[in-house]
Amino acid sequence: MQVTRINPEWIWNRALRVNITDTYISHTSTDKTTIPHEKPALHRTLMREFEKFLKSTESTIFHEIIKGTTPDNHALYASKTFVTQRKKLIIDWYNAYGPLQVGFAAKLPNEIGVTRDKERPRRNRIDVFMEEAGAVWWVVNVLDRIGGIGAYRDCLAIKPKETSVTTANSLTIEVPNPMLTNINWGAAEAARKGEGVGQILQEGNKNIASPTWQVPYSSLLKWVIEYINQYLKENTYFTNENPWDVTRNSFGKKDIANANKTTGHRITTVAAPRNLSGYIWLLIQQQLEKTPNIDYYPCRNFENCAQELVGTSAISRRKWCSDACRLTSDRENKQTK
Ligand SMILES: [Zn+2]
């Protein structure tokens, strides 16, 4: 069995009328869907959106420091700026791509207040969304750092297969601080317990979370895999692709234009997302597996669509993420001529 792709038939409904209470997010589904081949690097979009959220709340932290009332992480997440910015992040995401998770999921490791192995409702919860967005932000940043891509293009890539385990233990890498998320297990727990160096800054007589954290490469890899495994377990499964009756296009979609061409049946195992989370973590898995031999570049309409595309060389690149982007730009070109 060789799994080489995500179920090409999978799509996900976007959201309308998103409403946020203290704990829950409610919405109505639209007929508009998120289509995988138009969003081949959606994990990176969520990473950047969470990064924007962190940036937008920086001034609050600064303000609190001046007042000498630096709150801890939990207090920060409850403060007004956080609540407003968090609301914006969630509503924008739901409208553009849909909810991450719906339904139920197994409890997370070390989760308090939930009986072991019991399932808890994760349907549209604010804390679950923020925890996951934070995990995506941290994991993708670490993978980018290891691969020397994205914001870390100036850093040398690390080749896991060529790095001996002894070397990896002493190879210290600076990455974003997982304490800036509201995750309480894995890397975030380790940072809070004082593993690694530099996670705490002294401001006056206050301790605050530093933007960065220095830890050995082997620990980073362990935590990244721990997060990925957990989310894959909750949100994905294996299945058989529908047997081929119509030839599929390069994205794996059945192409009606080929309906008259004869083709033999072919059996293919694919990884299937249960929800948008599953799709995002499968993309992260792809980046983990291919690092450092994977890279991304922006769609030519990136300023409007925020999508990156997968590519490792300048040759035979797609220019646009979707027909919508290609058409928008055609229109703009005509107007400027
Ligand atoms: Zn685009």
Quote the pLDDT of residue 306. Answer: 96
Look up residue 289 and give its amino acid: E
Quote the pLDDT of residue 195. Answer: 93
Can you tell me the distance from the alpha carbon of 102 to that of 232, in angstroms, rounded to the nearest whole number?
Answer: 15
Q: Tell me, in angstroms, the distance from the centre of ligand 1 to residue 244's CA.
A: 30
Report phi then psi at 215, rounded to 5.
-145, 160
Q: Tell me, in angstroms, the distance from the centre of ligand 1 to residue 301's CA.
A: 5
Q: Tell me, in angstroms, the distance from the centre of ligand 1 to residue 310's CA.
A: 13
Q: How far, CA to CA in Å, does 134 sit from each of 131, 217, 293, 312?
A: 5, 20, 25, 27
Give residues with Cβ within 8 angstroms of 108, minimum separation 6: 185, 230
Q: Tell me, in angstroms, the distance from the centre of ligand 1 to residue 302's CA.
A: 5
Asked if 222 and 160 count as a contact pair (C-beta separation under 8 A), the reply is no
Q: How far, CA to CA in Å, does 219 sit from each of 29, 191, 209?
A: 40, 11, 20
Can you tell me the distance from the alpha carbon of 189 to that of 277, in angstroms, rounded to the nearest whole number?
Answer: 22
Within 242-332, strands assigned E span: 269-273, 296-298, 308-310
Can you tell me the distance from the alpha carbon of 62 to that of 76, in angstroms, rounded to the nearest whole number?
Answer: 12
Quote the pLDDT of residue 209. Answer: 80
10-residue block means of pLDDT along the chain (337 residues)? Answer: 87 94 88 91 97 83 56 59 88 96 61 53 79 96 96 90 82 93 92 89 75 93 96 92 70 67 75 95 96 93 95 75 88 69
Q: Tell me, in angstroms, the distance from the centre of ligand 1 to residue 295's CA.
A: 17
Q: Give the burial class of 250: count Cβ atoms within 10 A of its Cβ; 0-12 exposed, 13-18 middle, 19 or more buried.
A: exposed
Quote the pLDDT of residue 261. Answer: 65
Quote the pLDDT of residue 72. Answer: 58
Quote the pLDDT of residue 77. Answer: 57
Quote the pLDDT of residue 107. Answer: 55
Q: Tell me, in angstroms, the distance from the centre of ligand 1 to residue 296's CA.
A: 13
Burial annotation 74-84 (CB, 10 A radius, 16+ → b, else e)? eebbebebbee
Q: Tell me, in angstroms, the distance from the centre of ligand 1 to residue 110's CA.
A: 39
Q: Tell me, in angstroms, the distance from the centre of ligand 1 to residue 332's CA.
A: 14
Q: Tell me, in angstroms, the distance from the centre of ligand 1 to residue 249's CA.
A: 20
Helix (H, G, I), strand (E, B) or coil at 272: strand
Sign of the Cα torsion 251, 253, 302, 182 reads: negative
Helices 126-147, 276-290: axis angle to 10 degrees equals 20
Q: Tell me, in angstroms, the distance from the centre of ligand 1 to residue 304's CA.
A: 7
Can you tell me the distance from the alpha carbon of 127 to that of 138, in angstroms, rounded to the nearest whole number?
Answer: 16
The token duo for 102 is 């719906």
Q: Tell me, in angstroms, the distance from the centre of ligand 1 to residue 102's CA.
A: 27
Q: Tell me, in angstroms, the distance from the centre of ligand 1 to residue 197's CA.
A: 39
What pTM did the predictor assign? 0.87
Q: Give the burial class of 175: count Cβ atoms within 10 A of its Cβ; 0-12 exposed, 13-18 middle, 19 or more buried.
A: buried
Burial annotation 27-38 (CB, 10 A radius, 16+ → b, else e)? beeeeeebebeb
Can you tell me the distance from the alpha carbon of 279 to that of 31, in angstroms, rounded to the nearest whole number?
Answer: 19
- The gap between the terminal CA atoms of the chain, to the nearest Å, is 53
> Does residue 292 have a cis bond before it (omega within 30 degrees)?
yes
